[in-house]
């Protein structure tokens, strides 16, 4: 955020002040709405495993592995197209999309989409808007693995030393597919049990993901809540992935000095619900736009009711407008 908050826990005096503040977040930040402010941010897989194994006596990786296989075996007959068997990100994205337990969390590039999900369901409690600096979160995990953004032209070369000590020039984009490279990073985060959320973007996006401007974070350690990054004394940096410097540890290029550099949790008063949903609807953000199809219209009807306003047709046909 351009105007860095003094604390990662943020409150605003009015919806108008919050709206203005959201304009000052840089494009590096991603957002997630949560219905209850009191909840910490944990993946569905993490929540389910805590229920299944409250005493922490079972092998969580084995349980997760079984769940992925269970989904894959049954989804193949229902989906026209499925990811490659070795495409971890593709399968986790599919599972997340259909409500299966995964180590992914959904975020949006748009704070307004995230606001909608925070306020979508009726509640008397305050909601929360989480913000995560995806640039720093990615660097905290994977460091700088490339000299620049992914080389779609395949012309960027890097120098390395082979086993005999000879200088060798390589072209990463010619040697690996982006999908395979991304899956390597995800698997590294899981193997190293990284506690920092790892931002990743699915390669195969449907209409819903596009409308919601979806970006995922993968939790290498599924028993870790994102909220651990609100307290600096609890920070644990992952073992550096070969080839990259890690933010906040051995790198001065991407410094991570304070929790508010990485995360923020904004309190959303429950009393703002109708006002915010009405404003978002006028921005074109409602369930009917975020969930293309009839299920979106059904959800939008609920949002319309919670907004407490009349539709344009009602107004034009004679209802008193207030």
pLDDT at 18: 96
pLDDT at 163: 74
Percent of the chain with pLDDT over 70: 84
178-191 and 88-97 helices cross at what angle (nearest 10)? 80
pLDDT at 6: 58
Is residue 28 assigned to a domain? yes
| Cβ contact 229:262 at 8 Å | yes
Q: DSSP assignment of 11-80, as one string?
A: --SSHHHHHHHHTTS-TTEEEEEES-TT-----HHHHHHHHHTTTS-S-HHHHHHHHHHHHHHHHTTT-S
Average of per-residue pLDDT values in the chain: 85
Q: How far is CA 112 from the centre of its chain?
A: 14
- In this structure, the answer to whether residues 57 and 196 fall within a common structural domain is yes
- Domain housing 122: 9-145+175-274
Q: 109 phi and psi, to 5 degrees?
A: -70, -20
Bridge partner residues of 168 (DSSP): 160
Place of tokens 């808007």: 129
pLDDT at 2: 52
The pLDDT of residue 116 is above 60: yes
pLDDT at 252: 45
Helix (H) or strand (E) holding 116: helix 111-119
Residue, of 284 and 80, whose pLDDT is higher: 284
Q: What is the pTM of this model?
A: 0.85
The pLDDT of residue 249 is above 60: no
Residue, of 33 and 237, whose pLDDT is higher: 33
Place of tokens 């000299």: 147
Count: domains in the chain: 2
- Mean per-residue pLDDT, 51-71: 94
- In this structure, the answer to whether residues 217 and 251 fall within a common structural domain is yes
The pLDDT of residue 130 is above 60: yes
CB burial class (10 A; 0-12, 13-18, 19+) of residue 164? exposed
Is residue 245 assigned to a domain? yes
The pLDDT of residue 132 is above 80: yes
- Mean per-residue pLDDT, 271-287: 92
| Cβ contact 92:183 at 8 Å | no
Per the structure block, which two tokens stand in for 46?
């993490």
Bridge partner residues of 31 (DSSP): 108, 131
pLDDT at 12: 95
Is residue 281 assigned to a domain? no
- Mean per-residue pLDDT, 236-265: 71
- In this structure, the answer to whether residues 310 and 234 fall within a common structural domain is no
- In this structure, the answer to whether residues 180 and 300 fall within a common structural domain is no
The pLDDT of residue 296 is above 90: no
- In this structure, the answer to whether residues 106 and 231 fall within a common structural domain is yes
- In this structure, the answer to whether residues 292 and 215 fall within a common structural domain is no
Contacts 24+ apart (CB under 8 A), 98-102: 100/67, 100/71, 101/43, 101/44, 101/45, 101/47, 101/48, 101/49, 101/64, 101/67, 102/43, 102/44, 102/45
- In this structure, the answer to whether residues 205 and 291 fall within a common structural domain is no
Helix (H) or strand (E) holding 133: strand 127-133
- In this structure, the answer to whether residues 183 and 241 fall within a common structural domain is yes
pLDDT at 195: 95
Is residue 86 assigned to a domain? yes
Is residue 160 assigned to a domain? no
Q: Which of the four pLDDT bands, split at 50, 70 and 90, describes residue 67?
A: very high
Per the structure block, which two tokens stand in for 201?
């973007």
- In this structure, the answer to whether residues 180 and 311 fall within a common structural domain is no
Residue, of 115 and 319, whose pLDDT is higher: 115
Percent of the chain with pLDDT over 90: 54
The pLDDT of residue 243 is above 60: no
Is residue 166 assigned to a domain? no
The pLDDT of residue 298 is above 80: no
pLDDT at 125: 94
Is residue 122 assigned to a domain? yes
pLDDT at 222: 97
- In this structure, the answer to whether residues 80 and 135 fall within a common structural domain is yes
Q: Which of the four pLDDT bands, split at 50, 70 and 90, describes residue 294?
A: low
CA 188, CA 173: separation in Å to the nearest integer?
A: 19
The Cα-based distances of 138 to 4, 5, 274, 279 in angstroms read 19, 21, 35, 32
The pLDDT of residue 316 is above 90: no
- In this structure, the answer to whether residues 314 and 226 fall within a common structural domain is no
pLDDT at 176: 80
Q: What is the pLDDT of residues 154-208, one digit of tens each?
A: 888 777 777 787 888 878 778 788 899 899 999 999 999 999 999 999 888 888 8
| Cβ contact 222:64 at 8 Å | yes
Is residue 158 assigned to a domain? no
- In this structure, the answer to whether residues 112 and 218 fall within a common structural domain is yes
């Amino acid at each position: 955020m351009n105007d860095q908050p003094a604390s990662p826990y943020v409150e605003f005096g009015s919806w108008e002040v919050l709206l203005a503040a959201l304009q000052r977040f840089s494009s590096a930040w991603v957002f997630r709405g949560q219905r209850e402010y009191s909840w910490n941010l944990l993946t569905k897989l993490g929540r389910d495993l805590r229920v299944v194994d409250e005493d922490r006596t079972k092998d969580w990786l084995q349980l997760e592995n079984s769940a992925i296989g269970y989904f894959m075996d049954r989804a193949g007959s229902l989906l026209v197209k499925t990811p490659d068997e070795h495409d971890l990100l593709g399968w986790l994205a599919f599972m997340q999309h259909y409500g299966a337990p995964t180590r992914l969390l959904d975020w949006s590039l748009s704070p307004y989409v995230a606001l909608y999900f925070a306020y979508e369901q009726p509640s008397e409690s305050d909601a929360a808007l989480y913000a995560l600096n995806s640039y720093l979160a990615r660097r905290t995990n994977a460091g700088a693995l490339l000299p620049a953004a992914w080389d779609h032209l395949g012309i960027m070369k890097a120098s390395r030393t082979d086993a005999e000590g000879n200088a060798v020039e390589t072209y990463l984009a010619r040697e690996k597919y982006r999908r395979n490279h991304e899956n390597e990073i995800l698997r590294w985060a899981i193997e190293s049990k990284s506690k920092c959320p790892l931002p990743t973007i699915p390669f195969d996006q449907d209409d819903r993901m596009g409308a919601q401007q979806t970006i995922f974070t993968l939790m290498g350690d599924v028993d870790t809540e994102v909220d651990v990054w609100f307290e600096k004394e609890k920070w644990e940096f992952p073992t550096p992935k070969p080839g990259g410097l890690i933010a906040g540890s051995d790198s001065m290029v991407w410094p991570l000095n304070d929790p508010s550099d990485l995360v923020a949790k904004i309190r959303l008063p429950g009393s703002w619900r109708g006002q915010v949903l009405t404003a978002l609807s006028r921005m074109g953000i409602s369930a009917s736009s975020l969930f293309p199809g009839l299920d979106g219209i059904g959800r939008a009807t609920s949002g319309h009711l919670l907004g407490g306003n009349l539709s344009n047709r009602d107004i034009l046909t004679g209802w008193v407008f207030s």
